[in-house]
Structure 1
Amino acid sequence: MLRCKGLENMNYQETLLYLDSLNTFGIKLGLERITSLLKRMDQPQNRYKTIHVTGTNGKGSTTNMLAGILTQAKIKTGMYTSPHLVSYTERMQIDGHQIREADFANCISQVKLCADQMVADGNESPTQFEVLTAGAFLYFATMKVEYAVIEVGLGGLLDSTNVIVPEVSVITNVTFEHADRCGGTLAGIAAHKAGIIKEGVPVVTAADGETLQIIRETAHAKNSDIFVAGEDFSAAFIAFDGHKQKLAFSSRLLGASEEYFLRVLGKHQIENSSLAIMTALLIHNQDSRVTMEGIGHALDLATWAGRFEIMNQNNQKILVDGAHNLAGMKVLRSNLDSYFPAQERVILLGILKDKDVDGMIETLIRPIDTVVVTEPSSDRAAMPDYIAKKIKSQHVEAYIDIPEALARAQELAGSNRLLCIAGSLYLIGEARQLLLTEQ
């Protein structure tokens, strides 16, 4: 039970205003505030089992696949992800269904009671992400889930989600991002990701090189078994039928070798799905409801909005991809070259100014591409004219307004070119919503 008492109960719109007001406190890493907040809430995160997922790229996709696998096994499963594309309700799901706005408002209202008491007692206010995380933990406890798959928000070691003791810790990969908050170096970033490893809890990872060594050392220090992609298990591409990938998972360690279909496209999803399978097989050791047959069925049904997602719109092929950093752009470019090697491209691009703008542009844009630049709906957005001047392509246009930019990009693409929307989750969320309203 909550130890916080009060009468306040916000509606959904009031909840959004409250969350927006918490932006004043910005991003503050550390576990002191969330620990204090959850203590006042009687530790809802301890009332179910969890799987914890971090990594630079692929953590959202892997989280989604794992939640789908557990749901397919008839296990009541929560999923917490961030950020959202359109609505906060996307972040908290149970068995594939988003939280209702009324339930979201109720959970955040209850968290606010405890947050307000913290401030009244002279403590620092929780941040927006801390309130959302506490709200998700409370929602899953209230709904009595058996498992919750929890995606890290930023880093790992000092992330608000790092108050759980999971059944398995998953680290997808480690590349150079958020260095200013995670130690300033690749080794520092790896140390932050490895911070989710708990005593005796197995680790599944696709990290390599220097970052893998740091993760190995942390796992050894924590007496945790570690399972490494490419060494202990792997997945390989077999075929693509235009809709799904046919893949093969193998692990000599587990004596497993299975073919499966994956609806989520992209070469990077081959590795992500292997992480999900390996993690699920570890869960199978303690819960026989998780089976290879069920895993295959779940992956065949898996979808992940805005991640190399194909949308067919009025006889026009549109690709929406949440590539929002250099590593993501490298994956997107590789996937475009593999799946659509001969098709002309129109790129609708919007990038945040705190990203590697030059590297992202150089990676994604070819001289033969047509590019429309716009401004993502974020106060961190880089101005379209600034981005456009950096692009060395045959045709570049810039628009502040996303609907206008999208309409122009669709016009330029017509029915013969592939329209690719990428660069920021703030952009693809709004653009995707506009496309859905056109249907």
Structure 2
Amino acid sequence: MNYQESISYLEGLKIFGIRLGLTRIERLLELLGHPQDRYRTIHVTGTNGKGSVSAMVEGALRRSGIHTGFYSSPHLVSYTERVRVDGQNISEEDFAEGITVIREKIDQMLAEGDECPTQFEVLTALGFYYFAKCQVEYAVIEVGLGGTLDSTNVITPEVSVITNVTMEHADKLGGTLRSIAENKAGIIKDGVPVVTAAKGEPLKVIRETAEAKNADIFVEGEDFSSTFLSCDGHTQKLEFSSELLGIEKKPYELHLLGRHQVENSAVALMTIRLLHNIDERITMQTVTEALRLVSWPARFEHLELGAQQIIIDGAHNPAGMQALRGSLDDIFPAEERVLLLGILKDKDIDTMLDILLRPNDTVVVTRPQSERADSADDLLRRVAPAVQHVEAFSDNEEALDRALELANGEKLLVIAGSLYLVGGVRQMLLKRKE
């Protein structure tokens, strides 16, 4: 298969939807020769922040001279973004070659009477296969959904990371906060240390699981923490402390913006510290250099288009919107705002809007590029009572043009909501910057 044929094959697998379980991925990886066992891994789950934490950990490993892999989801524009080696997306040629090999194994499974793997399982297998082919030393693996039955949960990592736990995907993960926490705690393995920023009942569940697995647990706010010092709109100055590790107010700079990244970076630093215990190449110097450089697209990302200041954030649930609103209030408290929004219809839309919107905001709504998207007209109806002015456009580029016109280089433009919207709009903006 060439790249386009491999994409068509993947798109055809969408008919199987989301089917949690490990039987299919385990058999597929067995036929591929267990590629996931040929390198060390770090496993990262959580409701919010897992992508940012993964990016920080991978960046620190790479800056330390370590040959790294990074598997993440979803992508913003191209499937190739999901599988990276040494910071570079898998090439379209290698992507197609990997999918061709995996398809042959799937055909064998089907001939033996096994179920067909889902699209996410195939992409996960591709990541594991490609990392083994490239002979990476470490791979940072981000969970897709939950933990226990997620197709990534076939590894025994060096560290298990659970960023936080809130009500997200409750319909697929048991319907309660406790069941969601139990699911995410499913990545904890016997004797493997756990780093988490969970609070309340989810933390209790994670502690119980760690104790049952004889796994040391390190909790943000108890065993380690980071403190915000200042932000110039481009970089945050922070301090990391851990009485447990004998570290007091270690300063560092973080390229990623937003108050939520204070906690995320603390989780990443604690994870990296544990990795330092098994690999002396990882030093505080290389880590602080990495954090000053690391980026994670569409996570409170600051762009400039001429005089226009733009924030792009894939805040797609209430916790994400809370982090976005708090970061906007912290960093741009006095700025008037124009918001370009698109949200999926299966999200808690009204709660998200209640958190984000201010009465004097100007809003443009549009429809994300997904069959699960809420319509522009419905979103307009929901937004209208809360703000002074709102307009709706079905076409994303028309919506962007109007939002830029309304902001006019004088107001802060905030593009937020589903990654199915912000990924495409971000690409439009980058083309215009060129």
Secondary structure of the residue aligned to 1:124 is coil
CA distance in 1, matches of 2:428, 2:41: 35
Q: Which of 326, 333, 340 pairs up with 1:341?
A: 333
Match of 2:414 in 1: 420
Deviant stretches of 4+, over 6 Å: none
SS at structure 1 position matched to 2:380: helix
Please, which runs of 5 or more residues in structure 1 have no aligned partner?
1-9
2:422 alignment partner, SS class: helix
Tell whether 2:263 aligns with 1:271: yes
CA contact (8 A) 2:68 2:85 kept: yes
Q: Distance in 2 between matches of 1:419 and 1:294?
A: 34
1:224 aligns with 2:215: yes
1:189-268 aligned at under 5 Å gives the runs 189-257=180-248, 258-268=250-260
Q: 1:242 deviation in Å?
A: 2.9
Letter in 2 for 1:113: E
2:138 paired residue number: 147
% of aligned pairs identical?
61
Q: CA RMSD in A?
A: 0.6
- Compute the displacement of 1:241 (Å): 2.5
1:303 has 2:304 as partner: no
* 3-state secondary structure, aligned to 1:253: coil
Distance 1:247 1:337 in 2: 18
1:381 and 2:377 correspond:
no
Name the SS of the counterpart of 1:297 in structure 2: helix
* TM-score normalised by structure 2 residue count: 0.98
**Counterparts of 1:119 and 1:372, CA distance in 2:** 47
**Matched residue of 2:187: which SS?**
coil
Q: Quote the offset at 1:167 in angstroms.
A: 0.3
8 Å contact from structure 2 (residues 234, 302) kept in 1: no
Bigger shift: residues 104-113 or 124-133: 104-113
Report the equivalent of 2:30: 39
Residue number in structure 1 paired with 2:431 = 437
Q: Find the aligned partners of 1:72 and 1:195 in 2 and give their Cα distance.
A: 30
Paired residues of 2:2 and 2:96 also in contact (CA < 8 A)? yes
Structure 1 residues 29-428: aligned runs within 5 Å: 29-257=20-248, 258-391=250-383, 392=385, 393-428=387-422
SS of match in other structure, 1:270: helix
Q: Is 1:11 aligned to 2:2, yes or no?
A: yes
Deviation at 1:256, TM superposition (A): 1.6
Report SS of the residue matched to 1:134: helix
Contact 2:16 2:118 in 1 (8 A): yes
Amino acid at match of 1:337: D
The alignment partner of 2:381 has SS state of helix
For 2:351 and 2:203, locate their aligned partners in 1 and report how far apart those are by CA, in whole Å.
Answer: 24
- Out of 309-318 and 218-227, give the one that drifted further: 309-318
Whole-angstrom CA distance in 1 between matches of 2:165 and 2:102: 32
Alpha-carbon separation, structure 2, partners of 1:362 and 1:243:
27
1:283 positional shift: 0.6
Deviations 1:330-370 (A, max 9, x none): 11011111111111100100000010011011111111110
Distance 2:301 2:233 in 1: 13
Deviation at 1:237, TM superposition (A): 0.6
Q: CA deviation at 1:32?
A: 0.6
Partners in 1 of 2:329 and 2:341 — Cα distance? 18
Aligned-partner Cα distance in 2 for 1:406–1:116:
44
Q: What is aligned with 1:3?
A: none
Give the SS at the match of 1:156. Answer: coil
Superposed CA offset, 1:8-54 (max 9, x none): xx111111101100000001100011011111111000000000000
Looking at structure 1, the residues matched to 31 and 308 of structure 2 have their Cα atoms a distance apart, in angstroms, of 52
Q: Which amino acid aligns with 1:234?
A: S
Q: How far, CA to CA, are the matches of 2:111 and 2:306 in structure 1?
A: 55
Distance (whole Å) between structure 2 residues aligned to residue 287 and residue 341 of structure 1:
42
- The residue type equivalent to 2:410 in the other structure is N
Question: Which residue matches 1:4?
Answer: none
Segments of 5+ residues of structure 2 without an aligned counterpart are: none
Deviations 1:291-324, CA, capped at 9 Å, x for gaps: 1111101101111111000110021111100101
